[in-house]
Amino acid sequence: MTTEPAIRVENLNVSFGDSHVVKDLSFSVGSGESYGIVGESGSGKSTVLRVLSGLNRDWGGTVEIAGQTQPKIRDKAFYRAVQMVFQDPYGSLHPKKTVDDTLAEPLAIHGIGDAERRIGRAMSEVGLPASFRFRYPHQLSGGQRQRVAIARALVLEPSILLLDEPTSALDVSIQAEVLNLLQALRRERKLTYVLVSHDLAVVAHMCQRLLVMQFGRGVEEMTAQMLAARSPQTDYARQLLTASEGFRRD
């Protein structure tokens, strides 16, 4: 490898009061790679994303992004490089702001001119018709809201996108559209993804490598091929894989 990893996490530890939710976690994500984190509720997978994004400021260990060690409180430049898409499209858009307001805000914060062109570009990239620009979230469907959330993340032209269960609140047909969109964006913009999900099939579809987490620990790291070949090494990963295949009567 000649290029340094986009993200490198070393011995990450996070505690909320008495509960130790992430324990000695280490992994790295190559530039332009799509990396999945899989686990059940309470595995700490979302917490990892919140640490990477700077939302969670109470952690120990090392987080490097593009070769730079990250402090607990990130500077403005960081947010131009790393953006996040949240799980619930109904909760991640400000109810009193139009699509236009939502997309213009990051540009205003960073003092970027040229808002008109950038907003137009972001909207067309995520497949939102221009006529939606002045709609409020309640005038949009779940899938359209998630497209707005993706556009908001893209408008600052980041190189890393953190995806927290981006489709688990959507219908399967809408999920397919959003996943296709995310795939296409990654190809075009050479983005690095970290995708957190409970759905193995989604992670296998989207990612080249993935990490299985349980009780705050990384249980097993594997490639998507290993997952598809049903050859995980640990019991827990195998159990998760079997469970995801549906109900079995014995």
Partner 1 sequence: MTTWTDYLLTDSPSSRRQARLGQMYRKWLAFRRNPLAMVGLCIIVALLLVAAFAPLIATADPLAQNLDRRLLPPSATNIFGTDSLGRDIFSRIVYGTRVTLVIVLLVVVSVGPIGLLIGATSGYLGGWVDRALMRMTDVFLAFPRLVLALAFVAALGPGLENAVIAIAITAWPPYARVARAETLIIRQQDYIAAIRLQGASQWRIVWKHVVPLCLPSLIVRTTLDMAGVILIAAGLGFLGLGAQPPIPEWGAMISAGREQIFDQWWVATFPGIAICIVALGFNLLGDGLRDVMDAR
Partner 2 sequence: MNESIKEQPLLELDNLRVDFHTPTGIVHAVRGLSFTLGRERLGIVGESGSGKSMTGRAILDLIPPPGLVTADRMVFRGQDLLTMDRRERRKLRGRRISMVMQDPKFSLNPVRTVGDQIAEAYRVHHRASAREARERSLSMLEQVQIREPARVYELYPHEVSGGMGQRVMIAMMLIAEPDILIADEPTSALDVTVQLQILKILDDLVTQRGMGLIFISHDLHLVQSFCDRVIVMYGGKAMETLPAAELADESARARRHPYTLGLLGCLPDLDHPKAELATLTRDPAWLA
How far is residue 219's CA from residue 203's CA, in Å, rounded to a whole number?
A: 16
4 binds partner 2 (CB under 8 A): no
User: What would the x/- binding string for partner 1 be over residues 53 to 82, using CB under 8 A?
Assistant: xxx------------------xxx-xxx-x
Residue 109 contact, options partner 1, partner 2, none, Cβ 5-8 Å cut-off depending on partner type: partner 1
Contact 231, 221 (CB under 8 A): no
Among 49, 85, 200, 207, indicate the residue that binds partner 2 (CB under 8 A): 200
Q: Would you count residue 227 as binding partner 2 (CB under 8 A)?
A: yes
Residues in 127-156 that interact with partner 1 by CB under 8 A: 131-136, 139, 149, 152, 156
Return d(Cα 46, Cα 84) in angstroms, integer: 12
Taking residues 160 to 189 in sequence order and writing x for each that binds partner 2 by CB under 8 A, - otherwise, the string is -----------xxx-xxx-xx--x------
Report the relative pairing of strands 82-85 and 160-164 from DSSP bridges.
Answer: parallel
Binding partner at 40 among partner 2, partner 1, none, C-beta below 5 to 8 Å by kind: partner 2
Asked if 129 touches partner 2 (CB under 8 A), the answer is no
| Under rule CB under 8 A, residue 166 binds partner 1 | no
Q: If you count DSSP H runs as helices and E runs as strands, how many of each does the chain have, helices first?
A: 9, 10
Which token pair is 63? 């987080």
53-90 per-residue burial string, b: 16 or more CB within 10 A, e: under 16: bbebeebeeebbbbeeebeeebeeebbbbbbbbbbbbe
Count of chain residues binding partner 1 (CB under 8 A)? 38
Q: Tokens 């008495």 appear where?
A: 18
| Six token digits for residue 86 | 């949240």
Q: Which CB atom, from 88 or from 177, has the smaller least distance to partner 1?
A: 88
Our CB check for partner 2 shows the closer of 76 and 249 to be 249
Q: Which stretch binds partner 2 (CB under 8 A): 28-36, 100-108, 128-136, 199-207?
A: 199-207
Kindly state whether residue 105 participates in binding partner 1, applying the rule CB under 8 A: yes
**Between residue 39 and residue 68, which ones bind partner 2 under the rule CB under 8 A?**
40-41
CA distances from 185 to 8, 160, 180 (A): 23, 12, 9
Strand partners, 69: 64
Half-sphere exposure of 102 (CA within 13 A, CB side): 26
Q: Specify whether the CB–CB gap between 12 and 51 falls below 8 A.
A: yes
Q: Name which of partner 2, partner 1, none residue 78 binds, using a CB cut-off of 5 to 8 Å depending on partner kind.
A: partner 1
In whole angstroms, the minimum distance from the beta carbon of 250 to partner 2 comes to 10
Give residues in contact with partner 1 (CB under 8 A).
53-55, 74-76, 78-80, 82-84, 86-88, 91-96, 98, 100-101, 105-106, 109-110, 131-136, 139, 149, 152, 156
